[in-house]
Structure 1
Amino acid sequence: MINLKKILENRELVKEKSPLIHAITNPIAINMVANAILFQGAKAICAEHPDEMEDIVKKSDSLSVNLGNITDSRIKSIEKAVKFANEKNIPVIIDLVGIGVSKLRFDFAKKLLENYKFSLIKGNGSEIMALSGNQSGAKGVDVGDKDKLEGENIKKFIKISKVLSQKYQTRVLVTGKTDILVGENKYFLIENGCENLSKITATGCMLTSLISTFLSVCDPIEASILGLLILEISGEISDTNKPYSFFVNLMDNISEIKNDEIIKRAKIREGKF
């Protein structure tokens, strides 16, 4: 069983070390991503010019790459950044935004995964279906109804994620109403969150940045659990029928949420293969 109290100690470790977190994300999300990182006590940089990747990555403690709103320049930057991160043994997360609806993004994701090492693959149900070679029901960058993580689909996605984890020698996070986190010989189901998290932009990108922040001080499973619980329980606390009030409350709670509140509300189930 996981020791949530011990995992939460990594929050203080981030504040002590103030790591530099490099996030190559899409422009829609940059402000929210950078603030989510800063709120944890880390430093954020969202550089994306290809010619500065070597300098910046080698000074960073963690890297996340996001395939949303992809451009020629960002494709070059992402591949360069991942290459330099691998050379320096810097942990890397790939967020498979939109690969279920875009052949360009799908092909690029496959190229990266087949040539470089990632600490974590993250995607929604439709993106993970696409990566696994199955038909994706993606609605743009959002999950399609047939790929939602509920009912019998949960068992199916645990199996799919295990195969991907073994194929790419990494950990896999499938996000949804129930989040599925797959490690080497066990998996976790996290059932926190609220519907409003899917109704404002960039919450998935913020989750990636939160996980990347904690990945600078702990392993991918602990980092993913921390990022999920901070974002999703903050969402529960912030919940309101006024979308922008929810957004403001969410950002405040991501910054201020206490460990005791996380422990009290956390809904995690653990299974073994």
Structure 2
Amino acid sequence: MEFSEIVRNTRTNAPLVHCITNYVTVNDCANIILASGASPIMADDALEVEDITSMCHALVINIGTLNVGTIESMLRAGRRANHLGHPVILDPVGVGASALRLQTIMQLLKEVKFSVIRGNISEIKTIYEGSGVTQGVDAVAEDKITEENLPQVIMLAKALSMRTGAVIAITGAIDVVAHGDIAYVIYNGHGMMSRITGTGCMLTGVIGSFCGANQDDLLMATAAAVSAMGLCGELAYNKMQVNAEGTGSFKVYLMDYMSLMDGEFLVRGAKVKIK
């Protein structure tokens, strides 16, 4: 399966994506899912999440604004999605920032089988090691992905993938998406994406969209989503610069370009190597 087919399937099938996500970015996540060609459902009450996820094609769990009330919702929805064979995508936002976050992620990994785990390098290292510190929702400075440490990042992604069975997406200045012994290294993106809230959360939503419509190739679907989001960031920055505008316009253009994305456009703009 190619990137062009991933995008085409998403727009043709318009999968429903159930999101249990954080209230800082919930509106942006809903809109980027719509822009990608899917439809979002944002529901986090424990009394309804099993019903909601049963009618969807993918589940996204994001712990960005974690609270005790939603932990049971995440577990119930995750187990239900597993029972139905739906892709389940985890975004372990700030997993090393508090004991509650780390304990919750460890419990989720124990009780729910995840199809994709997407985080920055610090978050993925924390999950792999079972302990660690993250700088809020951002990667710790010494954990930044560079060409020099890229081989170690690829090894980490592959090792965690083999341990969990999930596609591992480590995002940063360079992105790594791995499953088993295959890794995609993705060079799309722009630093401006870190200057607005929620680009990581939005990307996880797009991964949910692409995976919901392409359940037979979750690795390719995840890599396509990461590349598409990065490409939209590049184009949004260029347009912002041409018009001498700021970060508010950048976010709007990011959404615009995702809504205009088609398979051929992505294939032309993707900067991907396989390792």
Mark yes or no: TM-score above 0.5. Answer: yes
State the shift of 1:18 in Å: 2.1
Question: How far apart, CA to CA, are the structure 1 residues paired with 2:191 and 2:83?
Answer: 40
State the shift of 1:114 in Å: 1.9
Determine what percentage of the aligned residue pairs are the same residue.
34
Q: How many residues matched?
A: 267
CA separation of 1:53/1:137 partners in 2, compared to 1, >3 Å: closer, same or farther? closer
Q: Which residue of 2 aligns with 1:194?
A: 190
Matching residue within 83, 95, 105 for 1:87: 83
Query: Runs ≥4 in structure 1, deviation > 3 angstroms?
Result: 134-137, 258-261
2:202 paired with 1:206? yes
Does the 8 Å contact 1:126/1:137 carry over to 2?
yes
1:160-239 alignment, distance < 5 Å: 160-218=156-214, 219-239=217-237
Matching residue within 265, 268, 271 for 1:264: 268
> Normalising by structure 2, what TM-score?
0.92
Question: How far apart, CA to CA, are the structure 1 residues paired with 2:230 and 2:21?
Answer: 20
State the shift of 1:224 in Å: 1.1
Does the 8 Å contact 1:137/1:143 carry over to 2?
no
State the shift of 1:135 in Å: 6.3
Structure 2 gap ranges (5+): none
Does the 8 Å contact 1:50/1:77 carry over to 2?
yes
Question: How far apart, CA to CA, are the structure 2 residues paired with 1:20 and 1:258?
Answer: 19
Deviations 1:9-29 (A, max 9, x none): 222222222221101110111
2:44 paired with 1:48? yes
2:96 paired with 1:100? yes
Q: Which residue of 1 aligns with 2:247?
A: 243
State the shift of 1:33 in Å: 0.7
Matching residue within 136, 139, 142 for 2:138: 142
> Normalising by structure 1, what TM-score?
0.93
Q: Which residue of 1 aligns with 2:259?
A: 255
CA separation of 1:16/1:257 partners in 2, compared to 1, >3 Å: closer, same or farther? closer
Determine which structure has greater relative contact order: mean sequence separation of CA pairs < 8 Å that are 6+ residues apart, divided by chain length. Answer: 2
CA-based RMSD? 1.5
